[in-house]
Amino acid sequence: MTQLALFDLDNTLLPCDSDYEWGQFLARIGVVDSQYYAAQNERFYQDYKAGRLDIHEFLRFALKPLSEHSRAQLKEWHDAFMNEVIHGQLRQQALDLVKRHQDAGDLCCVVTATNSFVTRPIVERFGIEHLIATEPATTGDNPLANFTGEVKGIPNFREGKIQRVHDWLASQNLALDQMPRSYFYSDSMNDLPLLEKVSNPVATNPDKRLRSEAAKRNWPILELFA
């Protein structure tokens, strides 16, 4: 039977936070007020690392710039972001980890709290078809409809990741508890709820709190970027 390999993205497959870097990029090119946006971006990032992030407050902040510009303009900026920021953050160790699971025939999926507009092109660079991300709402059903600045459905964060993974697997007539083996690679204590649900949790480049938790539970610790 097919095994499941789930990957967090930011600071797990990437040695950076794509959500944070996107915000910094928008500030650098003058799309948003650089001083205000950079300060708020840093505040939310520190809250995330400390495990106290208000996800709804953060998403109102992060998705607002998407609602203020056309999809064509956003794509142009995102293409530049990929070339200027993300391309240099792709590491062979992370690409090799994904490829090992793909070569084994495992069902691979990135499960990230960062929104799908920012992350889908990054996930495609890893050759991964499936993405579960926070979904920005749009003004219509057209895939290129403009963004509203709101969230569609459940934010893919903490316990929300569990529900979103269950829903995704159900759409493919699969269930987590029926997989012979399931992996989840993550760096963050925020992902503890989903790490507890898989058969093979792997603390990957873990933050201080997750490193301590993994040691207590005898979970493997993987340093991709050491």
Q: Which residues are catalytic?
A: 8, 10
Cross-strand partners of 7 = 110, 185
Q: What is the DSSP letter of 129?
A: -
d(CA 67, CA 223): 37
User: 116: how many CB neighbours lie within 10 A of its CB?
Assistant: 17
> What is the DSSP pairing of strand 130-138 with strand 147-152?
antiparallel
Give the separation between CA 216 and CA 80, rounded to whole angstroms.
Answer: 43
Phi-psi region of 146 (alpha: psi -120 to 50; beta: other; left: phi over 0): beta
Taking residue 146's Cβ as centre, other Cβ atoms within 10 Å add up to 16
| Sheet arrangement for strand 221-222 | 147-152, 130-138, 107-115, 4-7, 182-186, 200-204, 221-222
Q: Which strand (E) or helix (H) includes residue 210?
A: helix 208-217
Token representation of residue 98 = 């994904």
